[in-house]
């Protein structure tokens, strides 16, 4: 498995504020890797450090096999970056913007650029500053996918976009999936659930876990146990059980290691007189809510 | 190169109106500088509105530079270009091309046109024109350095206004205080050289590393170093540097002249005792252009020694008890060394016996040029054009609006005993002239019987001269109080 992006205990401080504490992830080739977490978790900072737009305080990032601090034009020609905070040359018309970008990328494909313009219905003669937010994102994505990047960084590309535009952009990204590895930062879990292959959860600058989406969905379960009596739970509960709540004879919790070998033994030890056990699959959003609540406790 | 051109073209397209405005301003300045009447001071020392172009033009240039650099700002982490496959070299090259194309090249053309309009052959004075370009670099490099470390163009504007204000205040001060101490002028150049070199380092570092904090610290340290150099460099050092940069290579000696030119009464009355010694230079092959005292020691017969500081001003309120200035006061460049005693007690001690003077002076020499310009011999004395102070002088000399000179003797019947100085019309002095104009039109004073010689002169170099005048009685040289 080729790794397109690897970070090793990557950290970034702004003065005394630790924006990124210790990010260690590996993004395999061909994957859609989602870095998720609440606003201010350090996702954008991580991307900018990977792209050498910010200097890491410690740790390393390797992009396309090259230390991010040594990224040169050769590597950047194979990297795409679309960010909601990126300052585009707003005075340029869409046509001028595409023509300007074209010169920087040897792999630029005019036909593909024209196709994106057509599909996105981009007005070529209008300046970027007069476009809607959705149109600007489309223009940025068109200018990025036209050179078929090997690795595409997307920093909150869908925030504040309407549903139609968002679906259109996702479709485009998925269509490029065969040749483009995507590293995506988002706080909107619902939008990435449908197409991300890997996910890393980051909170307060620290990665809580990183996993394949399929494994994650299998591992997390909402568990409800109905006991024959209302006996109190033991003080020592398995660490993998999150947000345990008891209401009379009913106990609910999130099991973050559902299906593990020791799972059955743990259930028997904690609930020796369980009358009924129900374990339900969890959507990604619920998993992260459970994780966030657990982290606060 | 391809990417550099791409970025350059983008900047030109984006900044076409500011570029046009700057070029229009330059064209206006060049036209005025080429056509202004002789005798108008092209520096900011005088108050003429045209002379403020010396500030307005650089201000326009640095703003244009800031706009170009800020098009691809090096500060922050949101820039569009930062993720483009474009290294620092094409980006820096593009900005360099912009500055060269829209600041340096137009200025070069403008100065060449002014020289031609004033009767000089620009091709024969290319070194001089290139020197003006070097001087301009002392403006453009720091401007680029400031632009690469500020977050926004508006921040740069605030910084530029602050620096321009400081320059204006300093120049106004300069006019009053240092009018007699031109040798110290080179402190400006020394400070500018340090500032430009530091700015170059800051610029390159910021382009390569985009480490704004480090670059800003380096910039501040550079500014402090330049300010310290300006404040602390000694008069001896400035004289030595001038002579080292541009030696005259003459073997000149100084002696007490038997009879000096008549000096006017001291304008300071009894507040200041002035002794005026007529000096003569022997062995000079060129014409003396400027003379300045570097140091003087007065040794009395009793062995008391007084280190005489070169006067910063003719102000009797000066703190030093004794000061010295050297003037060219004669129509043929005769010198007077004036020693000022602000302390009456000190003068009383010195006047009792004979003294020995050990001095050091620096002289700038100039040579008459062969390509004398036709228009250099033409004076336009238009009363409504000249500034008030200049107009008074010219009115006294001329009773007409326009006078053809050409070696003609013009008699001033009104103010025949005023100090005299030959009018000059030459290229800028090297290396002390940092004003925009490629020609130097010094103000002049006229007296009865003067022969106007408006041949152009070119600066040749500097000479430091040590001299001793032994066993002299200062009393006969006392200047009468007005």
Q: Is B45 helix (H, G, I), strand (E, B) or coil?
A: coil
DSSP letter for A87, please.
B
Question: What pLDDT, in 10s, does the model give residues B447-480?
Answer: 333 444 445 566 678 888 898 989 888 888 887 7
Closest residue in chain B to residue A97, using alpha carbons only: B10
Residue B14 has pLDDT above 70, yes or no: yes
Q: Is B323 helix (H, G, I), strand (E, B) or coil?
A: strand
- Same-domain check for residues B51 and B133: yes
Which residues make Cβ contacts (< 8 Å) with residue B388, sequence separation at least 6? none
Considering B125, B148, B175, which residue would you say is the last residue of a domain? Answer: B175
Say if B338 falls within a structural domain. yes
Q: Name the strand (E) or helix (H) holding B460.
A: strand B457-472
Whole-number pLDDT of residue A235: 78
The whole-number average pLDDT for the span B370-376 is 45
* Inter-chain residue contact A100 with B78, CB threshold 8 Å: no
Please give the Cα distance from B279 to B255 (Å, whole number). 6
Question: With DSSP H G I counted as helix, E B as strand and the rest as coil, what are the percentages for chain B, rounded to 5?
Answer: 50, 20, 30
C-beta of residue A160 within 8 angstroms of C-beta of residue A135 = no
The whole-number average pLDDT for the span B199-228 is 92
Top pLDDT among A270 and B326 is at A270
Which residues make Cβ contacts (< 8 Å) with residue B15, sequence separation at least 6? B64, B67, B68, B71
Considering B142, B160, B175, which residue would you say is the last residue of a domain? Answer: B175
Can you name the residues that pair with B83 across neighbouring β-strands?
none
State the complex-level ipTM: 0.82
- Same-domain check for residues B466 and B342: yes
Q: For residue B407, name the pLDDT band (cuts at 50, 70, 90).
A: very low
Instruction: List own/partner pairs for A259-268 with CB under 8 A and 24 or more apart.
Output: A259/A218, A259/A219, A266/A238, A267/A225
* Inter-chain residue contact B10 with A100, CB threshold 8 Å: yes
- Same-domain check for residues B279 and B357: yes
Say if B278 falls within a structural domain. yes
* Inter-chain residue contact A55 with B211, CB threshold 8 Å: yes
Segments forming the whole domain that contains residue B474: 253-366+461-479
Q: Which two tokens stand for residue A28?
A: 């395999």
- Same-domain check for residues B358 and B377: no
Compute φ and ψ for B294, nearest 5 degrees.
-100, -45
Q: Strands (DSSP E) along A53-157, which ranges? A: 58-63, 66-67, 79-83, 151-155
From chain A, the residues in CB contact with B78 under 8 A are: 83, 85-87
The whole-number average pLDDT for the span A206-210 is 81
Q: For residue B426, name the pLDDT band (cuts at 50, 70, 90).
A: very low
Say if B241 falls within a structural domain. no
CA A219 and chain centroid, separation = 19
Top pLDDT among B1 and A79 is at A79
Residue A242 has pLDDT above 80, yes or no: yes
- Same-domain check for residues B40 and B84: yes
The whole-number average pLDDT for the span A43-49 is 91
Please give the Cα distance from A96 to A101 (Å, whole number). 9
- Same-domain check for residues B431 and B324: no
C-beta neighbour count of B72 within 10 angstroms? 20
Please give the Cα distance from B326 to B360 (Å, whole number). 11
The whole-number average pLDDT for the span B16-30 is 95
From chain A, the residues in CB contact with B80 under 8 A are: 86-89
Q: For residue B216, name the pLDDT band (cuts at 50, 70, 90).
A: very high
Considering B175, B210, B239, which residue would you say is the last residue of a domain? Answer: B175
Q: Does the model's pTM come out above 0.95?
A: no
The whole-number average pLDDT for the span B391-405 is 35
* Inter-chain residue contact A88 with B80, CB threshold 8 Å: yes
* Inter-chain residue contact A77 with B85, CB threshold 8 Å: yes
- Same-domain check for residues B76 and B13: yes
Nearest CB to B78; choose among A87, A100, A101? A87
- Same-domain check for residues B357 and B398: no
Question: What pLDDT, in 10s, does the model give residues B280-318?
Answer: 888 877 777 777 788 888 898 888 888 877 765 555 555
* Inter-chain residue contact A76 with B78, CB threshold 8 Å: no
Mean pLDDT of chain B: 74
Residue B394 has pLDDT above 60, yes or no: no
Separation in Å, CA of B213 to nearest CA in chain A:
12
C-beta of residue A135 within 8 angstroms of C-beta of residue A126 = no
The C-alpha angle with vertex B384 and arms to B383 and B387, in degrees rounded to 5, equals: 85
Percentage, residues of chain B above pLDDT 70: 67
Q: For residue B265, name the pLDDT band (cuts at 50, 70, 90).
A: low
From chain A, the residues in CB contact with B82 under 8 A are: 51, 53
- Same-domain check for residues B72 and B115: yes
As for how many domains chain B has, the answer is 3
């Amino acid at each position: 498995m080729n790794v397109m992006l690897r970070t090793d205990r990557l950290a970034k401080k702004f003065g005394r504020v630790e924006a990124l504490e210790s990010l260690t992830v590996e993004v395999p080739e061909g994957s859609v890797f989602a870095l998720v977490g609440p606003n201010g978790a350090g996702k954008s900072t991580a991307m900018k450090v990977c792209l050498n737009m910010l200097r890491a305080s410690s740790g390393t990032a390797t992009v396309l096999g090259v230390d991010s601090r040594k990224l040169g034009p050769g590597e950047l020609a194979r990297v795409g970056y679309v960010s909601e905070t990126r300052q585009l040359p707003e005075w340029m018309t869409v046509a001028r913007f595409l023509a300007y970008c074209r010169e920087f990328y040897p792999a630029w494909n005019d036909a593909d650029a024209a196709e994106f313009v057509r599909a996105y219905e981009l007005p070529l003669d209008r300046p970027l500053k007069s476009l809607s937010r959705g149109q600007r994102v489309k223009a940025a994505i068109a200018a990025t996918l036209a050179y078929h990047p090997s690795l595409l960084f997307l920093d909150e590309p869908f925030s504040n976009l309407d549903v139609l535009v968002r679906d259109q952009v996702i479709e485009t990204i998925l269509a490029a999936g065969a040749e483009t590895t995507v590293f995506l930062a988002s706080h909107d879990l619902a939008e990435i659930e449908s197409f991300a292959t890997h996910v890393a959860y980051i909170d307060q600058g620290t990665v809580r876990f990183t996993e394949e989406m399929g494994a994650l969905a299998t591992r997390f379960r909402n568990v409800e146990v109905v006991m024959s009596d209302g006996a109190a739970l033991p003080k020592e509960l398995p660490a993998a059980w999150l947000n345990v709540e008891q209401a009379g004879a009913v106990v609910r919790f999130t099991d973050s290691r559902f299906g593990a070998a020791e799972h059955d033994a743990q259930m028997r030890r904690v609930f020796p007189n369980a009358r009924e056990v129900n374990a339900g699959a969890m959507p990604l959003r619920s998993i992260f809510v459970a994780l966030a609540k657990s982290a606060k406790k | 190169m391809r990417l550099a051109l791409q970025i350059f073209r983008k900047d030109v397209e984006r900044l076409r109106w500011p570029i046009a405005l700057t070029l229009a301003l330059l064209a206006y300045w060049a036209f005025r500088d080429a056509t202004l009447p002789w005798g108008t001071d092209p520096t900011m020392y005088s108050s003429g509105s045209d002379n403020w172009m010396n500030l307005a033009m650089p201000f326009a240039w640095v703003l244009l530079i800031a706009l170009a650099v800020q098009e691809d700002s090096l500060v922050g982490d949101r820039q569009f270009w930062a993720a483009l496959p474009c290294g620092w070299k094409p980006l820096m090259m593009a900005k360099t091309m912009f500055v060269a194309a829209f600041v340096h090249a137009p200025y070069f053309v403008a100065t060449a046109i002014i020289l031609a309009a004033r009767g000089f052959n620009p091709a024969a004075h290319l070194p001089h024109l290139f020197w003006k370009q070097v001087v301009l670099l002392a403006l453009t490099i720091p401007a680029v350095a400031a632009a690469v470390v500020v977050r926004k163009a508006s921040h740069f504007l605030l910084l530029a206004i602050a620096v321009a204000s400081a320059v204006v205040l300093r120049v106004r001060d300069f006019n009053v205080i240092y009018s007699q101490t031109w040798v110290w002028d080179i402190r400006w150049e020394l400070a500018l050289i340090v500032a430009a070199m530091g700015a170059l380092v800051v610029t390159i570092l910021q382009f390569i590393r985009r480490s704004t904090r480090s670059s800003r610290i380096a910039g501040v340290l550079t500014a402090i170093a330049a300010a310290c150099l300006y404040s602390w460099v000694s008069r001896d050092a400035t004289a030595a540097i001038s002579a080292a940069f541009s030696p005259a290579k003459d073997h000149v000696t100084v002696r007490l002249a038997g009879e000096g030119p008549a000096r006017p009464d001291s304008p300071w009355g009894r507040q200041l005792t002035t002794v005026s010694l007529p000096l003569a230079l022997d062995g000079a092959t060129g014409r003396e252009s400027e003379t300045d005292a570097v140091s003087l020691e007065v040794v009395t017969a009793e062995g008391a020694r007084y280190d005489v500081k070169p006067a910063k001003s003719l102000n009797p309120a000066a703190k030093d008890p004794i000061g010295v200035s050297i003037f060219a006061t004669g129509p043929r460049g005769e010198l007077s060394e004036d020693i000022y005693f602000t302390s009456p007690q000190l003068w009383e001690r010195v006047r009792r016996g004979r003294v020995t003077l050990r001095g050091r002076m620096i002289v700038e020499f100039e040579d008459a040029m062969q390509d004398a310009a036709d228009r250099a011999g033409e004076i336009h004395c238009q009363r409504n054009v000249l500034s008030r102070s200049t107009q008074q002088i010219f009115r006294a000399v001329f009773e007409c609006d326009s006078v053809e000179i050409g070696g003609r003797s013009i008699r001033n019947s009104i103010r025949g005993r005023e100090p005299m100085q030959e009018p000059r019309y030459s290229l800028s002095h090297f290396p002390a002239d940092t004003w925009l104009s490629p020609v130097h039109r010094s103000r002049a004073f006229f007296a009865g019987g003067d022969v106007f010689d408006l041949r152009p002169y070119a600066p040749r170099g500097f000479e430091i001269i040590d001299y001793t005048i032994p066993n002299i009685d200062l009393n006969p040289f006392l200047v009468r109080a007005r």
